[in-house]
Structure formats: C-alpha cells, structure tokens
Amino acid sequence: MSLFLRMCWEFFKTGLFSVGGGLATIPFLKEMSYKYGWFTIEELTTMIAVSESTPGPMGVNMATYVGNHMFGIWGGIAATLSLICPSIIIVLIIAHMLEKFRDSQVVQGIFTGLRPAVVGFILAAVIDIYLSSLFHVEAFEASGSLSVLFNWAAIGLFAVMLAFYRWKPDTHPIWIILICAVMGIVLQL
C-alpha cells in the first residue's frame, strides 16, 4: 500500500474509533508516530499546540497538520477528509436509528460503557502531553541524570498559568494561549 493511502487509512481508522473528540485522536497519532515514524513525539506536541491554538476542531486541525506535513496541501485535504468521513457516515446512521431506539436499554448501556472509555483515552493523552511538555524524558533516559529531567521554565509557566486560570476562571482561553506563546518565545521553551 502506498504511503499516501496508508496515511488515509490510518486517519480513517482514527476517525472511526476516536470517540470523544479531538483529544481522543492523540493516542492514535502517538501510535502512528511509533509505528510509522511519520513524526516524532516532540513534533506531535507541537501539532497539539498548533491545533489547540487555531480555530476549528482539534482532531481535524491535527489531521490537516499531519497530512500537510507529509504530503503538502493535498495530503492535508486527504487526511482531513479521511478523518471526518467515518463521523459523517456514523452520524447519519445514528440520527436515523437513534430516533427509533432512543429509549432502548441496550443503547443506554452502550453510552454508559463508552463514557469511561472516552475519559480514559483523554486522560492518557493528557498524561502524554504533560510528560512531553514539562519533562525531558528522552534526555533523562539517554543520560540517566536527574538534572536533565525537569523543564523548569515550562513547569514554572504551567504553574503560573494554572494558578492564574484558577484565580480568574472567567479569563478567555485565547489570552492564556497568547500569553503562553509569548512566554515560550521569551523563555525559549
């Protein structure tokens, strides 16, 4: 299978099984990184940051980013369409069926079972992002030295922004993103 078709297939599968939105795509992208080497975990973290700070659904933004990274504009379009195609098909089927089976105990049981799975996927993605953003795990594994493990500037920025957002929860997220982007440039994170 050509690399282009493989990418489309992987994003189709991601769109089919990443229940719960954009963050649920991250484990699939992480697997793509390990399995195919299309991008590094550090590049994945950058993709997440770009996808979170641009308008639109995060999963779609990430598919577009990866596709463009690999094959240019046509790759971005193909990866995006591959990701959203299963959702369109499933939503059309569910919309038709849900009206008929809305009160079904089986349907209610399915949704009850899916919710914890979605939370698990999102939590796993959050842990991966947390570790890759605030710690130099690869440098630590390579050197074995604890002194290289902590990204102190990123940890400090994380703590300050977390405290600020808890203190002023009505602050629009765009301000937090912009402040962190400027601080990343200033601190060379």
Residue 54 has pLDDT above 80, yes or no: no
Q: What is the reported pLDDT for 40?
A: 84
Q: What pTM value is reported for the model?
A: 0.59
**What secondary structure does DSSP assign to 66-128, as a single string?**
HHHHHHHHHHHHHHHHHHHHHHHHHHHHHHHHHHHHTT-HHHHHHHHHHHHHHHHHHHHHHHH
pLDDT in tens, 104-155: 888 788 888 988 988 898 888 889 888 888 998 888 888 888 888 998 988 9
pLDDT band of 4, cuts 50, 70, 90: very high
Local confidence band at 189 (pLDDT 50, 70, 90 cut-offs): low
Residue 29 has pLDDT above 90, yes or no: no
pLDDT value of position 13: 92
Q: Is the pLDDT of residue 174 over 90?
A: no
Q: Mean per-residue pLDDT for 3-20?
A: 89
Phi, psi of 151 (to 5 degrees): -95, 85
DSSP 150: B
The overall average pLDDT reported for the chain is 86
Write the CA distances from 56 to 21, 98, 144, 160, 173, integer angstroms: 12, 27, 40, 27, 14
pLDDT value at position 102? Answer: 73
- Kindly list the domain boundaries of the chain, sorted by start residue: 3-104
Q: How far apart are CA 7 and CA 164, in angstroms?
A: 40
Q: How confident is the model at residue 82 (pLDDT cuts 50, 70, 90)?
A: very high
